[in-house]
Amino acid sequence: MSKSRTNPDFLNGVPELLLLKLLARQPMYGYQLVQAIRVLSAGELAFGEGCIYPVLHKMETAGWLTSRDELVGGRSRVVYRLTASGKERLAGSAAQWQRVVSAVERIMQGGMNEQCSVAEPIAR
């Protein structure tokens, strides 16, 4: 049997993964990122918009992002960019996410019933 593993980023890492993916396309600031998540998820992912900033700050401290003050539409905004380290992190997180999604998919499609068909029914 393979060694026991956990998926710590199964839920906690979702905002991080989304932000990395969006910033891989182009540099953005907080409000743009929130709007992009809302539009691309067709409104399914709803959250307090302010909570994106602590995540961005954490990612910047980790070295996955850099930030710079820039004028956007005549207003000063803190624009975030993905670093080389962030790209590596994105590749790793995306691969892990795909594995988790595939595993959940298999379970949801009934694969578990087939694999566990040898298990004895619970005695009553």
Partner 1 sequence: MSSAALLNQLRGELSRRRLPPHYIARAVREIEGHCEDIASERQDSEAASEATLCRRLGDPVRLAADMASEFRAQHFAGRHPWLVFLGAPLPCTMALAAVWYFIGFCVLEAVGALVPQARANTAAIVLVQCFCVGGVAVPLLGVTMIFARWALRAGCGLRWVCAACVLQCLLGASVHTNLTLPTAPGKGSFSIGLGVPPANLAMLLLPCACAAAVAWRYLRQSQSLPWEMPR
Q: Are 52 and 30 in contact (CB under 8 A)?
A: yes
**Binds partner 1 (CB under 8 A): choice among 10, 22, 57, 83:** 57
Residue with tokens 């995306």: 94
Helices (H), the chain: 14-25, 30-40, 52-61, 84-108, 111-115
Burial of 89 (0-12, 13-18, 19+ CB in 10 A): buried
CB of 90 to partner 1, least distance (A): 20
**Binds partner 1 (CB under 8 A): choice among 14, 51, 103, 104:** 51
**121: contact with partner 1 by CB under 8 A:** no
CB of 109 to partner 1, least distance (A): 36
Q: Which of 57, 87 has the CB closer to partner 1?
A: 57
**61: contact with partner 1 by CB under 8 A:** yes
